[in-house]
Amino acid sequence: MKYLDEFRDPKIAKQILAEIEFTVTKPWVIMEVCGGQTHSIIKNGIDQILPKEIELVHGPGCPVCVTPLEIIDKAIEIASTPNVIFTSFGDMLRVPGSKKDLFQVKSEGGDVRIIYSPLEALKIARNNPEKEVVFFAVGFETTAPGNAMAIYQADREGITNFSELVSHVLVPPAMEALLSSPKNRVQAYLAAGHVCAIMGWWEYDPIAEKYKVPIIPTGFESIDVLEGILLAVKQLEKGEYRVENQYLRAVKRGGNQPAQNIVNTIFEIGDRKWRGIGEIPQSGLKIKEEFSKYDAELKFAVDNIVTQESELCISGIVLQGLKKPHECPAFGKECTPSNPLGATMVSGEGACAAYYKYQRIRNG
């Protein structure tokens, strides 16, 4: 396949669906670990056309959704500081903190700017040496190389008015945390293809073996998702549990080595909180001590801010695959995209936003 249309071809989709229907004999619960895959599933009604034996649940695969509330409050505190230019990707500006969001900070006079690359933030720092420029560095392994490169370049150039507020999380430890929970329902994973494009899939081998779950690195188009489901079901029905790469056009077992090298140069692995889930040991990236002058938490002394989550929002339960968005009492009522209670409704990749956008009020 060479062109995008081929990954959306309804004839191919029907063929794969027929093979899934022919293969499945038992009930299985499969979790996709990517917000992009969630939107593809809901938009195309993939969960509705699958055999009744297969249930898809939505995992913690949206970087905005798993960013802890206290990190948002830290961002708001820094962005409200005089002489600061706070930069971020656009979706983070609408994520509610405990009292306000970054858009409100901007409306109150804070210099908050939407950018499209951390290197753009570095350019702003070069052009505004009298200001402190902060970039909100969130995401999974996918965005970590670019954020690491910005710090690396700042250090090479001796730029001291640039820093990053880091909330990077790692996918494999989260997958393992869900599997080890006594409430776990997941029997197979569709792994995020773009994460695997950076990190490869070798880290998933011991997880698949230990927990007896197929793990399928999968793309984002409807054909990708259906094929990922088919590969997972074939393994489950045979009692096989291994990593099987669906996303052959983008993912290699070893991943992107230069990208991994720059990440390992700037960051080190540490404990990290996940919104709605809690702290997962060794599940995040933090700036190494030798580059600590680029750590905005330390520079602005906000590392001690701790915030409680909203009691109305069940996004943590949704992200663990234990409930669907429409099962939240606040869904579509107190919580809407214009008045979101949690990040899963804010983000364009969030499961709650997908259910709301495509009017998925109930299952089926």
pLDDT higher than threshold 60 for residue 1: no
Q: What pLDDT, on a 0 to 100 scale, did the predictor assign at position 163? A: 98
Q: What pLDDT, on a 0 to 100 scale, did the predictor assign at position 361? A: 66
**H-type alpha helices, 267-333:** 296-299, 315-319
User: Which residues lie closer than 8 Å to 112 by C-beta, 6 or more apart?
Assistant: 79, 86, 87, 88, 93, 102, 103, 105, 106
pLDDT in tens, 299-317: 999 988 777 766 778 877 8
pLDDT in tens, 274-284: 877 788 999 99
The whole-number average pLDDT for the span 329-346 is 83
Q: What pLDDT, on a 0 to 100 scale, did the predictor assign at position 37? A: 93
Judged by average pLDDT, the poorest of 159-173, 202-216, 221-235, 265-279 is: 265-279
Going by pLDDT thresholds of 50, 70 and 90, the confidence category of residue 363 is very low
- Tally: H helices and E strands in the chain: 16, 10
pLDDT higher than threshold 80 for residue 342: no
Q: Considering the entire predicted model, what is its pTM?
A: 0.89
pLDDT higher than threshold 50 for residue 15: yes
* Cβ–Cβ under 8 Å, residues 102 and 129: no
Nearest to 80 by CA among 113, 110, 112, 101: 110
The whole-number average pLDDT for the span 97-116 is 94
- Has domain 1-324 been given CATH number 3.40.50.11740? yes
Going by pLDDT thresholds of 50, 70 and 90, the confidence category of residue 3 is low
The whole-number average pLDDT for the span 178-194 is 95
* Cβ–Cβ under 8 Å, residues 251 and 66: no
Mean pLDDT of all residues in the chain? 92
pLDDT higher than threshold 50 for residue 141: yes
pLDDT in tens, 36-81: 899 899 999 999 999 999 999 998 878 888 888 899 999 999 999 9
Domain spans of the chain, in order of start: 1-324, 325-357
Q: What pLDDT, on a 0 to 100 scale, did the predictor assign at position 215? A: 98
